[in-house]
Amino acid sequence: MHEKNLSTLLGQINTELKEIEAACQSIQGASGDAGAFREKMEAWMNEAGENNGPGHSTEELCQLQKEAMAHWKQMEASLQELHGSTLDLKRSVQERTGFLKGYLEVGRQEARIGAEPGSGPVDSREPGSANRQQDGAAYAQVFMVNENQIKTLSTLDGLREYLNGLSGLHGIWLVGIAAGLLLNLALGLALLLRGAGAGTEPALPGDAGPAPAVSEVERSRPSDGETEILPASPADVAPPPGQPAPSASLLSPKSAEKLISARAGYALTYLKNKSFSRLGAKYFHPEKGVHFLPEGLSAEGHQFAANVVEKAASSTTAYHWGLSEASLISMDFQKYYGRYIFDVDYTKEREARYNELSFAGRYGLSADQLARRFPDCLFAEYHRSGRSLILVFEKWQQDGGWYLSAVIHNQ
């Protein structure tokens, strides 16, 4: 009878654990992977911040808020489902823990009675020391399960309190807070599912933003398998040694930061996510396009029209990126991206520098050189792990905005 009850008890506990695991999988399916969901939230907030400025329509922001709230409601419903399932499991585990405590206490009392003088022989069918050891192991397992459920329930209760507190908030900031809550939930679920070996595979962030309009002029599109290399403009050619350099003037770092810090941050995020459609539509210079330089200013690099980069990124055509120590750098855009654009994650750099360089690299790059190469420019430097990425912005006279005209890799 002892073994049958114990087996039934443990079987019921395992069933409850499977139920909570299924509930966890349900919320993962409804909300998506936490990392991918956070990336989407960041992209949405970026778009809202870009479009919510002077001269921009608020229609995009309203649509963005509707989409964000739809995701939020779906996640909230899944949270409520998981919360109810966890409550049921908590009650069930508590009942079984109480039952097991009583069962063990009866066994102890019978053992004490059997040990008293004159009590007579103890029935060998009653739980002995071996059975009590099994009871102790089972009790420890139930206690651990109960503790895990209480911790998970406490986490969910805290999340629900946040949900109630946020019920009066509106706008895109609610979405940002929701992303943080989802990450906290993911941590709690990871602890619960660790023993069951459950896990998720991170989703790849998708490309964000609308596709740019197709221009009739594509200065850098290869035709018939050949690579078209644009001639360098006079401003793109460094002065020969010994020749006086043109006077270089740069705005102060504080002034540059005020003008381009937000756009530089957005552009860096979109570069990381390979959102070239968004970059082509809103960030690359409409007239000059964007110039990719692999080794400071020592190599010629390659210049693309603003609307061509997205197509180049999906092409297997090799482009010429200049000479490196007398060797021609020739590779397709995808390989160039991994080698000379996001070779490290520059978004993890806490502080950017504006109109000043902290890292000269082996090419001896300096702010003065950048000012001569790109007169009246503003730039942001992101330095990490012995490498740096420099985003150069130049003004477009038509609207007075600052647009990305060069992406320089330095090491």
Q: Could you tell me which residues are beta bridge partners of residue 387?
A: 384
Range of the structural domain that residue 183 is part of: 2-193
198, part of any domain: no
**84 located within any domain:** yes
The answer to whether 319 touches 331, Cβ cutoff 8 Å, is yes
- Indicate whether 280 belongs to any domain: yes
Among 193, 220, 242, give the residue marking a domain's end. Answer: 193
Q: Phi/psi of residue 285, each to 5°?
A: -65, 125
Whichever domain contains 152, its CATH number is 1.20.1050
In this prediction, residues 197-203 reach a mean pLDDT of 35
The percentage of residues in the chain with a pLDDT greater than 90, rounded to a whole number, is 24
What pLDDT, on a 0 to 100 scale, did the predictor assign at position 56? 45
Mean pLDDT to the nearest integer, 312-326:
87
- 362 pLDDT exceeds 50? yes
Q: Both 148 and 243 in a single domain?
A: no
Please check whether residues 184 and 273 belong to one and the same domain: no
pLDDT over 50 at 239, yes or no: no
Q: Please give the average per-residue pLDDT across 312-340, as a whole number.
A: 89
**Is 102's pLDDT higher than 60?**
yes
pLDDT at 365: 85
Domain identity same for 164 and 251: no
Higher pLDDT pick, 257 / 51: 257
Residues 287 and 153 reside in one and the same domain:
no
The total number of structural domains in the chain stands at 2
Is the pTM for the entire model greater than 0.85? no
- What is the structure's pLDDT at 390? 93
pLDDT at residue 199 tops 80: no
Residue 217 counted as domain residue: no
Residue that wins the pLDDT comparison between 390 and 183 = 390
Q: What span, in angstroms and rounded, lies between the C-alpha atoms of 32 and 200?
A: 10
* Residue 268 and residue 129 in one domain: no
| Pair (123, 176) in one structural domain | yes
Tell me the C-alpha distance between 132 and 137, whole Å: 9
Q: Are residues 135 and 250 in the same domain?
A: no
Same domain, yes or no: 132 and 269: no
Judge if 307 and 368 occupy the same domain: yes
The pLDDT of residue 126 is above 50: no
Q: Which helix (H) or strand (E) holds 255?
A: helix 253-272
Shared domain check, 112 and 248: no
Distance CA 301, CA 322 (A): 5
Whether 283 and 373 map to the same domain: the answer is yes
Reply yes or no on whether the pLDDT at 170 is more than 50: no
Give a yes or no: residue 221 inside a domain: no
Q: Which of 283, 297, 278 is nearest to 238 (CA)?
A: 297
Tell me which of 338 and 62 has the higher pLDDT: 338
Looking at the structure, do residues 98 and 241 belong to the same domain, yes or no? no
Q: Which residue has the higher pLDDT, 286 or 35?
A: 286
Phi-psi region of 117 (alpha: psi -120 to 50; beta: other; left: phi over 0): beta
Give whichever of 56-65, 145-154, 390-399 has the largest mean pLDDT: 390-399
Query: 3-class SS at 410?
Result: strand
pLDDT value of position 114:
62
Tell me what pLDDT residue 195 has.
Answer: 38
